[in-house]
Amino acid sequence: MTFSGKTAIITGGTGALGSVCASRFHDQSLSIAVPFASDASLANLPKRVAQDRTNLLTVRTDLTVEDQVDGFLAQVVKRFGTVDYLVNTAGGYTGGKTIDELALEEFEGIMKLNVRTAFLICRAVLRVMRRQNFGRIVNIAAMPALSPVARKGPYAISKRAVVTLTETIAEETRGTGITANAIAPSTILTEANRLSMPNADFSKWVKPAEIAELALYLCSDEAGSVSGNVIKIYGG
């Protein structure tokens, strides 16, 4: 797999999964663009990535705001000339309530966080990718999107919408050199998840590095015929 000279956007790049993806893509001599929410979050970028003044662009961006997303893309294109890959790890989780217990504000909040952000960033990068007849989009779905369970309804619904968004993009870009795929992990092995579920069997959880490696493959030339898929990565 050869990525030298290409540009990747990693949303959620200061998070537990996104920072690992940013590190793995940076290892491939790619230019990396990371939208971030707060100065404090930048500390989560791996040091060797954060200190790369040549191949790293960080821009404070609220991914739920249309103008800010479009402005972020404009800065990426101005700095690096193009966008070749999008790995969209931005999003969030909510759970613990049944549908009838859920407040409208809670439902709308997770839809905004997971679906609105995915739509806005995918739409923005597609406008660039179509001009160059090349691009790779990798969205992060989740196991509950494919196999819903009780008390995770809003999360499952929002991630199912991300799946449908991905599948729709794949159909609309078929034959253009652009691909779109989603990765659906089960529980990811992060410190936050460990703390929230201390009695779980961590050996069955999915390592962020495994997801990053799969995302890297989906962005490769070797995966040029892979599009419209939701790839399950459910751990041990």
CA quadruple 58, 92, 68, 88: dihedral sign: positive
| Residue 78 CB contacts under 8 Å (≥ 6 apart), including other chains | none
Q: What is the pLDDT of residue 4?
A: 83
Distance from C-alpha of 24 to C-alpha of 20, rounded to nearest angstrom: 6
What's residue 2's pLDDT? Answer: 80
Q: pLDDT tens for residues 126-151?
A: 999 999 999 999 999 999 999 999 99
What's the pLDDT score for residue 27? 94
- Predicted TM-score of the model (pTM): 0.96
- Nearest CA-CA partner of 2 in 220, 230, 226: 220
DSSP-based three-state secondary structure for 56: strand
Q: How confident is the model over 157-173, as a mean pLDDT? A: 98
Please give the pLDDT value at position 1: 76
User: Read out DSSP for 73-116?
Assistant: HHHHHHHHS---EEEE-------S--GGG--HHHHHHHHIIIII
The domains of the chain are located at 7-233
**Among the listed residues 147, 149, 134, 111, the one whose alpha carbon sits nearest the alpha carbon of residue 180:** 134
Of all residues in the chain, the percent with pLDDT exceeding 70 is 100
pLDDT at 112 over 80: yes
For the residues 1-14, what does the mean pLDDT come to? 93
CATH class assigned to 7-233: alpha beta
For residue 186, pLDDT beyond 90: yes
Tell me what the pLDDT averaged over the chain comes to: 96
